[in-house]
C-alpha cells in the first residue's frame, strides 16, 4: 500500500505517490483555476490523484490514504477547511467531500505544516527530534515538528511564527497586528524595504538592476546589488537579515530545536543568506555558551516538501 500527498495551492494542484521511503514515484497536476466552487476544485484534485497513481503503475485500491496540504485554517478533527482566503473557502467539509471522490481515508493540514513535516521526515530535518521549517516568501510560513509530529495546538493553528511581534507598534501586518515578523522578514517586506531605499538613494545600483523602475523590484534586487558592491544594496540586505535573525533568535530561545531550515524564494540565496544569519543569531540566542546549538540549514526538498509532508499525514 502507498500514500498520496497533495499540495493544493492557489495556482496548481500537485499530487504525488509516495513509496515506503517517502520518495515520489508518480505525479499528477491540475490547475486550481480560481475562482470557482470547492466541488469543482475537488473534482480536479481527485483527478490529479488518479493521474499520479496511474503514473506510478498502481490503482486506487493500492492507496492507503491521501493527505492534503492547503493554505488557511484547517479543523483537523472535523475534516473542515475553516477558512482559506486564497481559495475562497469558508467552513468547507473537505474530508467528507474528498473521501466520496477518492474512496480512501483523507487527512488535512495547513500547507506550511505539511512542508515542515516533509522536511522533517525526508529532508533537512531527517534524523532530529525537534525541527522548525521557515519559508521566506510572500509571507513568512512556518511549521514546528516534534518527534515526527506537527505541533498543532488546540485550534490546529499553532506554528504561525510569522505573526509573533518583533517591533512593538511597528509596520501593520495583514493579520491585523502591528510589527509582526512577517511584516519585516517576508519577501514582500524586503521588496518594500528595497523600494524605500531606492527612493532615498537615486544613485544606487538597484535602479539599474530594476531597469529604472521600482515596479521591477523583486526579492533578488537588493541581494544582486549587494553582491555587485552597491553600499545601499548592502545596507538593505543587512537590515533585512537583522529582522530575520531576531525572529530566529526568538524561536531558538523558545523552542530550542535541533535544526531550523530556511526555504522559500529568499531561501534560494543559500549560504549568502545563511552564513551571515548564523553570525547574527549568535547574539540573539539565550544559550550563548551552550555546547549544543540550533543549526541553521537550507531547506532540501523544494516544492516537493509539501507533497511529501501531506502524504505522511495520519490522524
Residue 51: how many other CB atoms lie within 10 Å: 17
Which residue is associated with the grid cell 496548481?
Answer: 12
Per-residue pLDDT of the chain (315 residues; tens, 9 = 90+): 999 999 999 899 999 999 999 999 999 999 999 999 999 999 999 999 999 999 999 999 999 999 999 988 899 989 999 988 889 999 999 999 999 999 999 999 999 999 999 999 999 999 999 999 999 998 999 999 999 999 999 988 899 999 999 999 999 998 899 999 999 999 999 999 999 999 999 999 999 999 999 999 999 999 999 999 999 999 999 999 999 999 999 999 999 999 999 999 999 999 999 999 999 999 999 888 889 999 999 999 999 999 999 999 987
Q: By C-alpha distance, which of 68, 94, 69, 71 is closest to 81?
A: 94
Q: How far apart are CA 80 and CA 77, in angstroms?
A: 8
Q: Give the three cell numbers for residue 193.
A: 524595504
pLDDT of residue 218: 97
| 96 lies in the same domain as 135 | no
Q: How far apart are CA 298 and CA 306, in angstroms?
A: 16
| 131 lies in the same domain as 236 | yes
Instruction: Produce one character per residue of 68-83: b if its CB has 16 or more CB atoms within 10 Å, e if not.
Output: bbbbbbbbbeebbbbb
DSSP string, 142-180: EEEEETTEE--TTTT-TT-GGGSBSSTT-SB-TTS-BSB
- Report the residue count for the chain: 315
pTM, to two decimals = 0.91
Q: Which domain holds residue 256?
A: 126-298
| 150 lies in the same domain as 289 | yes
| 198 lies in the same domain as 244 | yes
pLDDT of residue 288: 83
Q: How far apart are CA 46 and CA 74, in angstroms?
A: 19
pLDDT of residue 182: 96
Residue 212 makes CB contacts below 8 A (sequence gap 6+) with: none
Residue 173: phi and psi, rounded to 5, are -110, 155
pLDDT of residue 289: 83
Q: Give the three cell numbers for residue 254.
A: 523558545
The number of distinct structural domains making up the chain is 2
Residue 37: how many other CB atoms lie within 10 Å: 11
Give the angle 38-41-45 at the CA atoms, nearest 5°. 130
| 105 lies in the same domain as 134 | no
| 229 lies in the same domain as 86 | no
Give the angle 121-14-274 at the CA atoms, nearest 5°. 50
| 157 lies in the same domain as 282 | yes
Q: Give the three cell numbers for residue 85.
A: 482566503
Residue 273: phi and psi, rounded to 5, are -90, -50
Q: By C-alpha distance, which of 111, 147, 120, 152 is closest to 259?
A: 120
DSSP-derived pairing of the beta strands 259-263 and 130-136: parallel
| 237 lies in the same domain as 148 | yes
Q: Strand, helix or coil at 59?
A: coil
pLDDT of residue 155: 86
Check: CB of residue 223 under 8 Å from CB of residue 244: no
Alpha-carbon torsion (79, 85, 91, 97), positive or negative: negative
| 74 lies in the same domain as 54 | yes
| 112 lies in the same domain as 150 | no
Q: Give the three cell numbers for residue 208.
A: 539599474
Rg (CA), the chain: 20
Q: How far apart are CA 264 and CA 299, in angstroms?
A: 8
| 12 lies in the same domain as 49 | yes
CATH of residue 91? 3.30.420.40
| 73 lies in the same domain as 163 | no
Q: Strand, helix or coil at 103?
A: coil
Residue 244: phi and psi, rounded to 5, are -60, -45
Amino acid at each position: 500500500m502507498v500514500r498520496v500527498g497533495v499540495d493544493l495551492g492557489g495556482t496548481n494542484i500537485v499530487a504525488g505517490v509516495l513509496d515506503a521511503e517517502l520518495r515520489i514515484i508518480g505525479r499528477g497536476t491540475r490547475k486550481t483555476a480560481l475562482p470557482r466552487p470547492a466541488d469543482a476544485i475537488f473534482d480536479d484534485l481527485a483527478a490529479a490523484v488518479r493521474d499520479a497513481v496511474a503514473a506510478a503503475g498502481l490503482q486506487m485500491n493500492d492507496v492507503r490514504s491521501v493527505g492534503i496540504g492547503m493554505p488557511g485554517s484547517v479543523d483537523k478533527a472535523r475534516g473542515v477547511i475553516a477558512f482559506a482566503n486564497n481559495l475562497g473557502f469558508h467552513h468547507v467539509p473537505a474530508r467528507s467531500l474528498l473521501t466520496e471522490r477518492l474512496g480512501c481515508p483523507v487527512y488535512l493540514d495547513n500547507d506550511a505544516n505539511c512542508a515542515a513535516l516533509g522536511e522533517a521526515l525526508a529532508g533537512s530535518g531527517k534524523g532530529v527530534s525537534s525541527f522548525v521549517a521557515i519559508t521566506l516568501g510572500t509571507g513568512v510560513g512556518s511549521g514546528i515538528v516534534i518527534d515526527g509530529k506537527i505541533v498543532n495546538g488546540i485550534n490546529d493553528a499553532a506554528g504561525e511564527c510569522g505573526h509573533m511581534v518583533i517591533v512593538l507598534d511597528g509596520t501593520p501586518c495583514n493579520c491585523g497586528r502591528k510589527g509582526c515578523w512577517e511584516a519585516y522578514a517576508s519577501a514582500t517586506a524586503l521588496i518594500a524595504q528595497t523600494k524605500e531605499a531606492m527612493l532615498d538613494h537615486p544613485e544606487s545600483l538597484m535602479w539599474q538592476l530594476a531597469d529604472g523602475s521600482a515596479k521591477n523590484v523583486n526579492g533578488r534586487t537588493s541581494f544582486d546589488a549587494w553582491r555587485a558592491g552597491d553600499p545601499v544594496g548592502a545596507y538593505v540586505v543587512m537590515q533585512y537579515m537583522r529582522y530575520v535573525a531576531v525572529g530566529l533568535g526568538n524561536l531558538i530561545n523558545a523552542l530550542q530545536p535541533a535544526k531550523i531550515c530556511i526555504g522559500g524564494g529568499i531561501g534560494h540565496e543559500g549560504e549568502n543568506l545563511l552564513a551571515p544569519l548564523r553570525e547574527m543569531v549568535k547574539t540573539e540566542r539565550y544559550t550563548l555558551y551552550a555546547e549544543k546549538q540550533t543549526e541553521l540549514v537550507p531547506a532540501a526538498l523544494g516544492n516537493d516538501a509539501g507533497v511529501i509532508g501531506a502524504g505522511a499525514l495520519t490522524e
